[in-house]
Amino acid sequence: MAKDGGSGKDRHVEAFLEMLAAERGAARNTLLAYDRDLEDFSAFARARGEAPAAATAATLRDYMAGMGAEGLKPRTAARRLSALRQFHRFLLREGLRTDDPTNLLDSPKLPSVLPKFLSESEVDALLAATARMPDRIAEVSRAALEILYATGLRVTELLTLPRTALASDAALIMVKGKGGKERMVPLSDAARDAAADLAALSDKRIRWLFPGRDPARPLTRQAFFLMLKQVALEAGIDPARVSPHVLRHSFASHLLAHGADLRSLQMLLGHADIATTQIYTHVLAERLRKLVEAHHPLAVAR
């Protein structure tokens, strides 16, 4: 079997992980998740006398079936299948295999989960609550919430914004998303003003718009989550319902409700696949239902 003599990990798995880090800029948590999932499969393949990179279609099929028999959640099985597919595409591209046995595997059926989002009035309440927060927290939370709701940025994209990103009068900002992919995102006047007010409070030599306790580093996700919970309490909203991702969902849902189309939303959110953006079609369905009720002659109450 092809193992690395030092770590015991399959050298092809290591090469795959190195590719994800170097070529796609995969985050550390993403790499750790792929590592865990592929190590689990590697142990299964080795128990059958096969190297992970040379596993047969039957071994892959039995591995997936075994997860179902063990009662693993469909989302866990789907994540592991995704890791296996990415790994085998890498092997195929590198000429290490001549086939991709994952093409024969069926994806686990996932329950339909609608994204959680806040109402427009609840977002207004959050923004109003920032003004009642103490000292610098008021400026930081106001700028963060204005930007998140105006752009739909991921939390990491927000916290790693350079101090100068919103310094000009430009209507668009450049955002570096997953895998180092860049996209242009429109910015509201309120978000730009809030960012300018925040930047004016910090030393011009500081790189980040949202510096952490150590100004050389951006604010941590944990510190930002805690601050967001405090603002939610001040706004009278259950803190469990408020997170950066919920604000991202709110941005998307409210845009669709006001007439945006899925393709434009895909570009704004930085989704590589339109299928990811389609989780918001429930908003479109509701809008269409109201449109029919309001204008279709047969929908008029008799």
Catalytic residues: 154, 178, 245, 248, 271, 280
Distance CA 118, CA 255 (A): 13
User: What are the residues whose beta carbons fall under 8 Å from the beta carbon of 300, sequence distance 6 or more?
Assistant: none
* Joined tokens for residue 222: 């944990």
Looking at the DSSP assignment, which residues form a beta bridge with residue 175? 183
CA nearest to 117, candidates 222, 244, 287: 244
Residue with tokens 């950066």: 244
| H or E stretch at 182 | strand 182-186
How many residues are given for the chain? 302
282 class by beta-carbon count within 10 Å (0-12 exposed, 13-18 middle, 19+ buried): middle
CB contact at 8 A, 221 and 156: yes
